[in-house]
Amino acid sequence: MTNLRSLPSVEQMLQTEAAAYLIARFGRPLTLDAIRFVLDDTRTRFRSGLMSDLPSTELILAQTESQLTAWTKSTLLPVINASGVILHTNLGRAPLSDATLRAMDIVSRGYSTLEFDIESGKRGSRLIHAESLLQKLTGAEAALVVNNCASAVLLILSALANRKRVIISRSQLVEIGGGFRVPDVMKQSGAKLVEVGTTNKVRLFDYKSAAEEPTALMMRVHRSNFKLVGFTEEPELKDIVEAAHAAGVPVVDDLGSGALYDTAKYGLAHEPTVQESMRAGVDIICFSGDKLLGGPQAGIIIGKADLIAKIKKHPLARVVRADKACLAGLSATLLHYLKDEAEREVPIVKMMSLTLKQIKGRAEAWAAELGQGQIVEGESTVGGGSLPGESMPTFLLSLQVNSTEKFLRALRTNNPPIIARTEADRVLLDPRTVLPEQEGALLVGLKNLLKKG
């Protein structure tokens, strides 16, 4: 009669050649844990009657290997983005330029001057990295880089407006992705929210009236992921700045996407740029590094030197500081703009600047390689909370399959995963967002899946 005494012990398992292979691959402690896990699971299932016969040693070791593979499998994987969404937040937003990747790799492989002054041989400051590049690009007096734009907003308000009034239009009390709500962030910082105007209309008079009482800041928040249309009104940024300065109040502009170029150049609506806010006289501007800028995740703060100095000294600045890889990568990305080579080197700018002829040529080449598929007109979007409702004309490879749902699932489980979209029972792939170096893997994956039917 089969009983649990027939199961091999952990020590017996460890003496096998298969276990030695697993130890070499996964390490002894984790292999031990996996063997014990599989043996305990086997005992539980046997006692509950879910199995009548005990597995062999070979099967137990095979299950152990499967368990180890599951435990050590990475959940953060590179994917091929054929969706046509350029700044796909769920897929990591902006892909990075080769120079940016090299800079991050070099500084991460060994030691660096992160907080070391080469000339004096003494401790330096990480806050200087990327600052001079931002000053040259924007004309700002000073700059600071933190880990993302949300933390930049929290830091600015905490440093400059704790327990003080901050004036903001009701139309700008927005919520963006991940439940980030401007009113909640203001509350967390200790700032006292002063709403002016109505949901759809705010006038300069509203700002001026609110500023008659002692006020720390006036704030404008860019409505990143939606548009306010119809019966609306709001003053120009330069007029808000003029009114604020007349009352002795600094202005903060949360630009969100942080474009350094005119998106209208690519057939899109105009996105407010960092340079425009500077020309309007804004005192503090914050924006993201991994959106329209096309760099690594970062929150960038630029503006007046005296205000930036206060922000740098606040204890929260250390909590949200950027690491060496971010600072190196952001500096490399900013250099592309300084050298006027963004359209050639920054992937998301390259994607926006592609001509329809170039996109159609790639789609046709895919169809020829696959031996099937139609080329159809479509739309690409910017995404990432930028330019809501805006799209760019594109050409798509359209595939007819038996089940779009099953095919999309098969694409997602491909190695590497391929992210596409569907429309009218057809699978659509947009060349605009597929990196050139990923085309080979894309076509291999598509061929294999199409061959399987």
Please give the chain's pLDDT, 453 residues, in tens: 467 778 888 899 999 999 999 999 999 999 999 999 999 999 998 888 888 788 889 999 999 999 999 999 999 999 999 999 999 999 999 999 999 999 999 999 999 999 999 999 999 999 999 999 999 999 999 999 999 998 999 999 999 999 999 999 988 777 666 666 777 888 888 889 998 988 888 899 999 999 999 999 999 988 765 566 767 788 899 999 999 999 999 999 999 888 999 999 999 988 899 999 999 999 999 999 999 999 999 999 999 999 999 999 999 999 999 999 999 999 999 999 999 999 999 999 999 999 999 999 999 999 999 999 999 999 999 987 777 778 899 999 999 999 999 999 999 999 999 999 999 889 999 999 999 999 999 999 999 999 887
| 379-408 pLDDT, tens digit each | 999 987 777 778 899 999 999 999 999 999
| 110-145 pLDDT, tens digit each | 999 999 999 999 999 999 999 999 999 999 999 999
In angstroms, the CA 285 to CA 250 distance is 11
In angstroms, the CA 424 to CA 196 distance is 46
- What topology does CATH give the domain 80-88+348-451? Aspartate Aminotransferase, domain 1 (3.90.1150)
Copy the structure tokens of residue 74: 């990475």
Q: Residue 168 corresponds to which amino acid?
A: I
Q: Is the torsion defined by CA of 288, 344, 130, 325 positive or negative?
A: positive
**Nearest of 430, 419, 280, 438 to residue 360 by alpha carbon:** 430
How many CB atoms lie under 10 A from the CB of residue 136?
12
**Nearest of 205, 192, 239, 246 to residue 220 by alpha carbon:** 239
Q: What is the pLDDT of residue 186?
A: 81
Q: What is the pLDDT of residue 199?
A: 80
Write down the residue that tokens 């649990």 correspond to.
4
Determine contact, residues 221/168, Cβ cutoff 8 Å: yes
Copy the structure tokens of residue 349: 């700018």
Q: In the chain, what are the domain boundaries?
A: 4-72, 80-88+348-451, 98-342
Q: What is the pLDDT of residue 178?
A: 61
Q: What is the pLDDT of residue 324?
A: 97
Q: HSE of 179 in the Cβ direction (CA atoms, 13 Å)? A: 0
Write down the residue that tokens 């960092």 correspond to.
274
Copy the structure tokens of residue 379: 């739309």
Q: Is the peptide bond before 416 cis (omega within 30 degrees of 0)?
A: yes
Q: What is the pLDDT of residue 148?
A: 93
SS3 120: coil
In angstroms, the CA 243 to CA 86 distance is 38
Q: What is the pLDDT of residue 24?
A: 96
Options 3.40.50.11270, 3.40.50.300, 2.40.40.20, 3.40.640.10; CATH of 98-342: 3.40.640.10
How many CB atoms lie under 10 A from the CB of residue 268?
17
In angstroms, the CA 78 to CA 86 distance is 15
SS3 331: helix
- Give Cα separations from 78 to 214, 296, 414, 427, 438 (angstroms): 51, 15, 11, 21, 10
Q: What residues have CB less than 8 Å from 289, skipping those under 6 apart?
A: 145, 258, 295, 296, 297, 298, 299, 300, 326, 330, 333
Q: HSE of 378 in the Cβ direction (CA atoms, 13 Å)? A: 27
**Nearest of 267, 444, 352, 422 to residue 397 by alpha carbon:** 422
Copy the structure tokens of residue 25: 């691959």
Q: What is the pLDDT of residue 230?
A: 67
Q: What is the pLDDT of residue 224?
A: 63
CA dihedral 207, 181, 127, 346 (to 10 degrees): -100
